[in-house]
Chains A and B, each alone.
Chain A
């Protein structure tokens, strides 16, 4: 097996709200290889964004990481001091957010964003040189270097997201986490941005974690996929296995409910019900109230993530030794 770059073990994140504790991410484990692309797929409230943020320890309060390990280069990021963590963010793991309008500072020119970022991490570099690097980065993402003097509002949505990508790769990180990077964009721009991410990833030999609600994008762009439901991983496998042999009833349901424009006649099947309230989770498997194959056991005990085939993990009682 190839050497893993990032290994996450039993990561658990809770939001301590007035109404009670919400486990947004529950015992999540996975690993990511060098230059690999992993998709994290789930609906709103599935914990996919919290998972992404917890990798760089930026879960907003009242959220806190209560358990687990995030191993990168032999170090557990969750044990680092805050100053050390600052060296990880941007330099080792960079983040691209969904909305490029709110993640760029509206009163700062494009170039100033780069200068601030580069000089924070490498104080010896002067403004001139930082700007020169910014120009090269912009060129890499397909933006004319003159745009360095523009303000964010002078750029279109697609260009802003390109700037975000350029900022993310500015410090040559090992891993880029992109949280719904194209959700705010039109489909043609979306395809261009996803192509760009791929190109940049190849050019810089980075690993990519692509967080998306759109299973089609994940199947088209990733090597492997984590499917999340109500804070847990319900299935984790290579895209071909997810597509050809989806095992968890939720994954199967998702695949049957997304329209495919290449199919002539398609009957979509809906998943009944709606995702559970995290404050009021069903007993046993979290998916059973919506599951057509639910058994007696599913209502009582929580299933564990087990390996059913090489590198294919699923969290369901229909598989493994303890199936009925």
Chain B
């Protein structure tokens, strides 16, 4: 695998303002924010599957959207092949979108119910003025065949409701690949698909990656799936990356107490291995009121005084992965 990076994210932040009532605005001057993504830095190497994993509300989906500039960041930079895209003009951005595409979680909500599959998959070609008429049809048929919707002649004529969840997700795949992109953000692409079809879909994604030389940013809450598909993983908690590294490292040698708790909670399909999940105190705090110091400290079983006072940095460890924890740094 080549080490060239395709996407780099630097100090990315996204704060959503919290709407207040008229009265509250009169009384208080301070505005409060949901700190959805709070200073995230990482890079994705060409040809790899880089996974953002975490629980709901950790900021993983927002990060994905920021990278594609589907929403503007509050601050920070995103580079695609060393070109900064956070400052691009709309026209330049449109050209860039050919190279960066997204697959959404819900295959039911991401298709226009009144558009035939063939038209939906061919639509990006029209928008970008790349092909029309017979040429467009030819490319759509080839792509549908490629993602396993065979015979493609039948599928182009169908409406989304006539497809199963798995087939719809294949169509979504076809639609995002038709422009021949290099980088795909896949936001929970398999979490709404039935178990027996999930593996087929994951394998299809990996096959396409190899053949079309794609790079994936894979977003998931399911660490078991992440372990199967990824090369590198970043674990997010409350808008920050708490641990990042090669998949093997993360799973065999998790360092951050949050990662350890997360891994211990995953059910293991083996009745002879009844494990006890590591108990965490309380629940994930609101992203409006993020705790001081290390944002995990109120729930951390090992928290010390420094954790409450100072925010830890994401630092490299001896084993080659990155972790954001005072207790690891001091060892």
Interface residues of B in 74-99 (CB under 8 A from A): none
- A275 touches B (CB below 8 Å): yes
Segment among A3-11, A166-174, A187-195 that sits at the interface with chain B: A187-195
A219 touches B223 (CB 8 A): no
Contact among B228, B269, B277 with A191 in the assembled complex (CB-CB below 8 Å): B277
A188 touches B55 (CB 8 A): yes
Residue of A whose beta carbon sits closest to that of B251: A261
Closest CB-CB distance, A169 to chain B, in whole Å? Answer: 22
A259 touches B262 (CB 8 A): no
Given that A214-B267, A261-B266 are contacting pairs, would A274 and B164 also be in contact in the complex, using a CB cutoff of 8 Å? yes
Residue of B whose beta carbon sits closest to that of A259: B224
Contact among A261, A264, A274 with B268 in the assembled complex (CB-CB below 8 Å): A261
A219 touches B269 (CB 8 A): yes
Contact among A215, A260, A261 with B195 in the assembled complex (CB-CB below 8 Å): A215
- Bound-state CA distance A195–B280 (Å) is 13
- B19 touches A (CB below 8 Å): no
- Which residue, A159, A195, A220, A253, has most C-beta atoms of chain B within 10 A? A220
- Bound-state CA distance A257–B198 (Å) is 8
A278: B residues at CB distance < 8 A: none
B263: A residues at CB distance < 8 A: 261
- Bound-state CA distance A259–B222 (Å) is 10
A243 touches B270 (CB 8 A): yes
- B308 touches A (CB below 8 Å): no
- A302 touches B (CB below 8 Å): no
- A270 touches B (CB below 8 Å): yes
Given that A257-B195, A261-B251 are contacting pairs, would A187 and B221 also be in contact in the complex, using a CB cutoff of 8 Å? yes
A272: B residues at CB distance < 8 A: 200
Chain B 249-292 interface 0/1 with A at a Cβ cutoff of 8 Å (1 = within): 00110000000011111111111111001011001100000000
A156 touches B224 (CB 8 A): no
Interface residues of B in 188-234 (CB under 8 A from A): 194-200, 202-203, 221-225, 227-228
Closest CB-CB distance, B250 to chain A, in whole Å? Answer: 10
- B112 touches A (CB below 8 Å): no
Chain A 215-254 interface 0/1 with B at a Cβ cutoff of 8 Å (1 = within): 1110111000000000000000001100100000010011
Given that A44-B194, A187-B262, A243-B271 are contacting pairs, would A270 and B199 also be in contact in the complex, using a CB cutoff of 8 Å? yes
A213: B residues at CB distance < 8 A: 194-195
Contact among B196, B228, B269 with A243 in the assembled complex (CB-CB below 8 Å): B269
A205: B residues at CB distance < 8 A: none
A262 touches B196 (CB 8 A): no
- A295 touches B (CB below 8 Å): no
- Bound-state CA distance A192–B265 (Å) is 8
B273 touches A262 (CB 8 A): yes
Sort chain B's interface into a size bin. Answer: 35 or more
B224: A residues at CB distance < 8 A: 216, 258-261
- Which residue, B167, B199, B203, B222, has most C-beta atoms of chain A within 10 A? B199
Closest CB-CB distance, A48 to chain B, in whole Å? Answer: 12
B248: A residues at CB distance < 8 A: 264
Residue of A whose beta carbon sits closest to that of B227: A261
- Bound-state CA distance A262–B166 (Å) is 27
- B56 touches A (CB below 8 Å): yes
Residue of B whose beta carbon sits closest to that of A187: B265
A258: B residues at CB distance < 8 A: 195, 224, 269
Interface residues of A in 269-301 (CB under 8 A from B): 269-272, 274-275
Residue of B whose beta carbon sits closest to that of A272: B200
A220 touches B274 (CB 8 A): yes
Residue of B whose beta carbon sits closest to that of A271: B196
- Which residue, B221, B222, B265, B273, has most C-beta atoms of chain A within 10 A? B265
A190 touches B265 (CB 8 A): yes
A149: B residues at CB distance < 8 A: none
- A255 touches B (CB below 8 Å): yes
Contact among B196, B198, B283 with A189 in the assembled complex (CB-CB below 8 Å): B283
- Bound-state CA distance A253–B195 (Å) is 10
A43 touches B196 (CB 8 A): yes
- Which residue, A186, A195, A214, A266, has most C-beta atoms of chain B within 10 A? A186
- A268 touches B (CB below 8 Å): yes
- A68 touches B (CB below 8 Å): no
Interface residues of A in 169-206 (CB under 8 A from B): 186-192, 195
Please list the residues of chain B having a beta carbon within 8 angstroms of any beta carbon in chain A: 55-56, 164, 166-167, 194-200, 202-203, 221-225, 227-228, 248, 251-252, 261-274, 277, 279-280, 283-284
List 23 contacting pairs A-B, 8 Å CB cutoff, sorted by A: A187-B223, A187-B265, A188-B55, A215-B195, A216-B266, A220-B267, A221-B267, A243-B269, A243-B272, A254-B195, A257-B196, A257-B198, A258-B195, A258-B224, A259-B228, A261-B223, A261-B224, A261-B268, A264-B248, A264-B252, A270-B197, A270-B199, A275-B194
Q: Which 6 pairs of residues, A with B, have the shortest CB-CB distance?
A: A270-B199, A191-B265, A216-B267, A259-B224, A186-B55, A270-B200
